[in-house]
Amino acid sequence: MNELAYNAAFFIFAAITVASAIGVVTKNDLVHSALLLALCFIGVSGLYVLLQADFLAAVQILIYNGAIAIVFVLGTMLTRRSARHGTNDTEKNIPSRLVAVVSGLFVVVTLGVIATTPWHYFGEGVVEDTPSLIAQFILTDYMVAMEAAAVLLLAAMIGAIVLAKGVEE
């Protein structure tokens, strides 16, 4: 991919990600915010593709979009509320114009930093088989960290079950 197409794809995915993230915060309807969150996850996975991290892009789409965002949308839609409009009351706290001005200022400053930074492309080339490389790292070099994360997630799951079920004293 030539540099112009790469830069155009980067700015398209970055614009999708930033615009949908701003929409998540500023929308009043909770369902619309959840759908924009799913779009933000798709933009992030596109950025992972540009970084040649195909496994992370697939995980981003499968786990975040396929599980978290969709379950959030279905959970919101299946709750028994007669009126969902106005469930995400952001207008009362932060005015939309203030959010737009701060976001625009952030984008201008970020683009200014990107334009003045000398970028040097480097790397060893494309890694063809990233899932097996990640599996090798997980099962050899980072095995203790993965086991610690598994124990932490198990403790969080047990805590969530206890809180959801309710402990009778």
Where residue 103 sits, what CATH number does that domain have?
1.20.120.1200
Q: What is the total count of domains within the chain?
A: 2
Q: pLDDT digits over 85-131, tens only? A: 555 555 555 666 777 788 788 878 877 777 776 665 555 666 677 77
Residues 119 and 134 in one domain: no
Tokens of 133: 């490389």
Residues 82 and 139 in one domain: no
pLDDT given for residue 123 in this prediction: 56
Residue 105's nearest CA partner among 17, 18, 23, 37 is: 18
DSSP string, 130-161: HHHHHHHIIIIITHHHHHHHHHHHHHHHHHHH
Residues 168 and 97 in one domain: no
The boundaries of the domain holding residue 142 are: 127-169
Question: Does the pLDDT value for residue 48 go beyond 80?
Answer: yes
- Put simply, whether the predicted model's pTM sits higher than 0.95 gets the answer no
Residues 163 and 96 in one domain: no
| 17, 20, 25, 69, 96 from 99: Cα distances, Å | 16, 13, 9, 24, 5
40 pLDDT tier (thresholds 50, 70, 90): very high
69 pLDDT tier (thresholds 50, 70, 90): confident
Residues 60 and 136 in one domain: no
> Mean per-residue pLDDT for 40-64?
88
Residues 143 and 100 in one domain: no
Residues 85 and 137 in one domain: no
